[in-house]
Structure 1
Amino acid sequence: MKKISSALILAVICYACGNHPSEPKKPISASINPQIGETKAKKAFVVDSATGAVTVAVPPPPPAKDGKALIAGGDCLACHQEKTKLVGPSYAEVAKKYNEKDIAKLAKKIKEGGAGVWGEIPMAPHPTLSEEDCEAMVKYILTIK
């Protein structure tokens, strides 16, 4: 009797731990739109109804980084504002002084920090930001007039 109850308990535990499908498998015809569909990985594909050929659609590129959102989500606003000098220069002052050819230089300044251009108070480095994020932030700053 102990062996039977132990086997039954083991079977229940195995079943409860996921040794069964969480949802029934759908036939392919039920999960695919005959014209346009998506796989579980969210890759779009098109099925030609005449030939049955499947073509994978190239996904659009990811949206450009939003420099304004990156600034708002960081610690930048503790020292900078759009139009008013705070601890560091306003973004409008930076935009007057620099242009698009300075994007790489300013992005490096955000990442590495520095001092001397706008006074003696140093700007803290931001080593965890990617170069792409820093450039997006600079591009946004340069639009403020």
Structure 2
Amino acid sequence: MMTLKKVSMKKVVAVFSIIAACYACSSGPAEVKKPISINVNPQIDEGHATAVVASAATGATNAAPAAVAPAKDGKALIAGSDCLACHTETNKLVGPSYAEVAKKYKEADIAHLVKKIIDGGSGVWGEIPMPPHAALAHDDVEAMVKYILTIK
């Protein structure tokens, strides 16, 4: 007759916890996320930025003065991604808070941070690795990083 080894409940819980953490930090194959893109169509007129506003009723366009907006909204891109599963603006969760990242890095580090997000990595903020985000567009990740560096 075959004897079964007793498996401790702690080991079973630990294995399932690790699997759940890995699943939460990465998107599964059935889940396909499209990057959020915000289309801003600026029109430059005599050195001033103006936004083109189209009227649906008349088909006319009116140029209204507006502040120069970034081509993509980093905060909206973050909200539409899986970043918030591990990061928050002000408190450490699984990874560092965005405020901690903004303290440590400056605008000169944008290219480095974009590469780290797309390729993934570990060791900078502890033992837990950040999974790669290769499906994100480079321009979107750059907009996200620029937004993160504004958080204080």
Normalising by structure 1, we get a TM-score of 0.57
Measure how far apart 1:88 and its partner are: 0.2
Aligned residue number for residue 129 of structure 2: 122
Is 1:97 the equivalent of 2:113?
Answer: no
Q: Tell me, in whole angstroms, the C-alpha distance in 1 between the residues paired with 2:73 and 2:132.
A: 20
* Matched length: 88
Measure how far apart 1:130 and its partner are: 1.1
Q: 1:20-39 to 2 correspondence within 5 Å?
A: none
Q: Tell me, in whole angstroms, the C-alpha distance in 1 between the residues paired with 2:108 and 2:78.
A: 21
Q: Which amino acid aligns with 1:132?
A: D
User: Greater relative contact order (Cα 8 A, min sep 6): structure 1 or 2?
Assistant: 2
Identity %: 77
Measure how far apart 1:63 and its partner are: 5.9
Across the aligned residues of Structure 1 and Structure 2, the Cα RMSD in angstroms comes to 2.1
Aligned residue number for residue 134 of structure 1: 141
Q: Which runs of 4+ in 1 moved over 3 A?
A: none
Structure 2 segments unaligned to the other structure (5+ residues): 1-53, 55-59, 61-68
Q: Tell me, in whole angstroms, the C-alpha distance in 1 between the residues paired with 2:70 and 2:126.
A: 36
Q: Tell me, in whole angstroms, the C-alpha distance in 1 between the residues paired with 2:134 and 2:98.
A: 21
Structure 1 segments unaligned to the other structure (5+ residues): 1-37, 39-43, 45-61
Q: Which has the larger radius of gyration?
A: 1
Measure how far apart 1:98 and its partner are: 0.2
Q: 1:35-54 to 2 correspondence within 5 Å?
A: none
Measure how far apart 1:70 and its partner are: 0.6
Aligned residue number for residue 112 of structure 1: 119
